[in-house]
Structure 1
Amino acid sequence: MADEVDYETLPSNAGLGVNMIAGAMAGITEHAVMFPIDSIKTRMQVFATSPAAVYTGIGNAFTRISSTEGMRALWRGVSSVILGAGPAHAVHFGTYEFVKDFAGGRAGGNQPLTTAVAGAAATIASDALMNPFDVIKQRMQVHQSEFRSVFTAMRVVYRTEGLAAFYVSYPTTLMMSVPFTAAQFTVYEQVKRLLNPRGEYSPSSHVIAGALAGGVAAGVTTPLDVAKTLLQTRGTSQDSELRRVRGMWDAFRIVWMRDGIKGFFRGMSPRMLMHMPSNALCWLSYEFFKVAIRE
């Protein structure tokens, strides 16, 4: 029998390009498959001015959206994710592996600090690229969105709100994504090491570790995600206060004043439901493509 591929210890001179391609494929796969749940999460987080856009749960949202707007409405904006997710995830995983190697993360043993730093660096780089695409995605996801084309949405948002509209949520995104990714990578690496101490290609361990990592990271960062959604969709609101929201702390103030503590956990269930299987699929795809491309 041929020796199994030790994908964690293959030559580093093939690493960066392989990791970037694997990351791009994983990102597109992850976001495309789970996109309807992401659409429901966005709608549940928005402070709607119309009773028709208020949803009480995942099942309620799915039934009402699909029956009144059609199933296609749940996929509106997916093209923005596909356009942005490939390059952003390529940068994400490429940066992660580069920083991890540079900081000695391959030396062996548990190194949660090195893993967390590498994950945080990866997020800072990838979010700078992905943020405008995420803004457009959420503008297309909201109830009665005027946009059906990514490029039309980009043009209209830029013309009416300027370049700042694409990055008004970037500080909040980083405040959310850095701890999210640090938690995700740390939990993933620890659980993977526990389930797969030999470091072999093991789909089951990648799926379990990825799902647990995604659920933990999604749950603890939901309040920041609520603020991010408020900032990114401000231009679609008919509420003058929401349209004028300026940043993360302003968003927090509005959420607290209007909905109290529960407002910070709007959409947490679909967010966790989205991130657990999507992270499992993302890590499974990533680890698979690392092996497939290198063979």
Structure 2
Amino acid sequence: MEGGIAGGIEICITFPTEYVKTQLQLDEKANPPRYRGIGHCVKLTVQDHGIRGLYRGLSSLLYGSIPKSAVRFGTFEFLSNYARSASGKLDGRASFMCGLGAGVAEAILIVCPMETIKVKFIHDQASSTPRYRGFYHGVREIIREQGLRGTYQGLTPTILKQGSNQAIRFYVMTSLRNWYKGDDPDRTINPIITGTFGAIAGAASVFGNTPLDVIKTRMQGLEAYKYKNTLDCASQILRNEGPLAFYKGTIPRLGRVCLDVAIVFIIYEEVVKVLNRVWKT
């Protein structure tokens, strides 16, 4: 529950950066590209659709962010209970594996359909004649035309992305926590320190797996039919657009993810503290 509350608050704050990141990743060089950069993407979106345009696809992430965070933190806590040492300490290596398991679980259960719907909504808005009138209408149309498989496009890169995301983030977060506490496991970490550690963990995951995020986005877009599989998608991007294309949207993603991870870890730990006090009374 704590993870779900944290996820819902976070996505409402950071979604415009996710929107811009997705548009830049979908903007293929061969088309030619519609956007000259982050500012230009924001300007055209607001010009064509108003401020609300920057929140296109929010509903799909909001509906999914609460169960996603709940699955992520729930799976991590479950796995970490078996991975802790006799003294109750979780080291970096064990945290990496627990994070990997948490990322794979959330990818399969929540993230892939959520991300597929989000990408299709954002991609649809960039077309001259948008088809989807809202969340339920869009989901109904996607399922009507493509079946449930239409909401599970790009499953392989999503598993790779989410698995590596959480493995990196939990590894970095746990390592920084252990370093900060040193020989005093009961040392309190204030929210500012937690947020700083979270931002560092988020940045590490962005630089570590943005290529997987670009591939995932392309395979979930409205033109996913061009790709036979994950490897074919990566091959076409490399051949047609060059290696730098694998880092499209890095800056807006960096901004969102650093804020995302910082906020989620702060809210998660503060909610845990509150609930622990309530349960003890």
Q: TM-score, normalised by structure 1?
A: 0.85
Residue identity in the other structure for 1:277? L
C-alpha separation in 2, matches of 1:232 and 1:91 = 22
SS state of the match for residue 221, structure 1?
helix
The whole-number CA distance in structure 2 between the counterparts of 1:63 and 1:196 is 45
Give 5+ residue unaligned stretches, structure 1: 1-20
Displaced runs of 4+ in structure 1, greater than 6 A? none
Query: CA separation in 1, counterparts of 2:23 and 2:178?
Result: 37
Contact 1:215 1:276 in 2 (8 A): yes
**Distance in 1 (alpha carbons) for counterparts of 2:17 and 2:116:** 17
Superposed CA deviations along residues 48-70 of structure 1, whole A, max 9, x for unmatched, are 5766x622222222122112321
Q: What secondary structure, in the 3-state scheme, does the structure 2 residue paired with 1:153 have?
A: helix
1:139 to 96, 114, 120: 120
Q: Identity rate of aligned residues, in percent?
A: 26
Residues 192, 205 of structure 1: 8 Å contact kept: no
**What per-residue deviation string (whole Å, max 9, x for no partner) do you get for residues 29-84 of structure 1?**
22221100000000000145766x62222222212211232110110111111111
Pair 29,246 (structure 1): closer, same or farther in 2 beyond 3 Å: farther
Moved more, 99-108 or 199-208: 99-108
| 1:203 corresponding residue in structure 2 | 191
Query: Residues 3 and 73 of structure 2 are in contact (CA less than 8 Å); yes or no, is this contact kept in structure 1?
Result: yes
**Deviation per CA, 1:85-130, whole angstroms, max 9, x where unpaired?**
1112111101100100122257355611211111111111111222
Counterpart residue identity of residue 281, structure 1: I
Match of 1:192 among 167, 177, 185: 177
Q: 2:63 is matched by which residue type in structure 1?
A: L
Stretches of structure 2 lacking an aligned partner (at least 5 in a row): none
1:156 pairs, out of 121, 136, 141, with 141
Q: Does the CA-based 8 Å contact 2:103-2:164 persist in structure 1?
A: no
1:275 is displaced (CA, Å) by: 0.4
1:168 aligned residue: 153
Question: What amino acid maps onto 1:214 in structure 2?
Answer: G
- Please tell me whether residue 245 in structure 1 is matched to residue 230 in structure 2: no
Q: CA deviation at 1:192?
A: 2.4
Note closer, same or farther for the CA distance 1:71–1:103 as it changes in structure 2 (3 Å cut). same
Which residue of structure 1 aligns with residue 162 of structure 2? 177
Q: Which of the numbers 186, 206, 214 marks the counterpart of 1:226?
A: 214
Computed over aligned residues only, the root mean square deviation of the Cα atoms, in angstroms, reads 1.8
Write the letter of the residue equivalent to 1:119: G
1:34 alignment partner, SS class:
helix
Contact 1:76 1:148 in 2 (8 A): no
Counterparts of residues 64-83 of structure 1 (less than 5 Å)? 64-83=44-63
Task: Give CA deviations for 1:117-165 in whole Å, capped at 9, x if unaligned.
Answer: 1111111111122211111111111213422322211111112122222
Residue aligning to 1:269: 251
Q: What is the CA–CA distance in structure 1 between the aligned matches of 2:69 and 2:242, rounded to whole Å?
A: 35
How far 1:201 moved relative to its partner?
A: 4.3
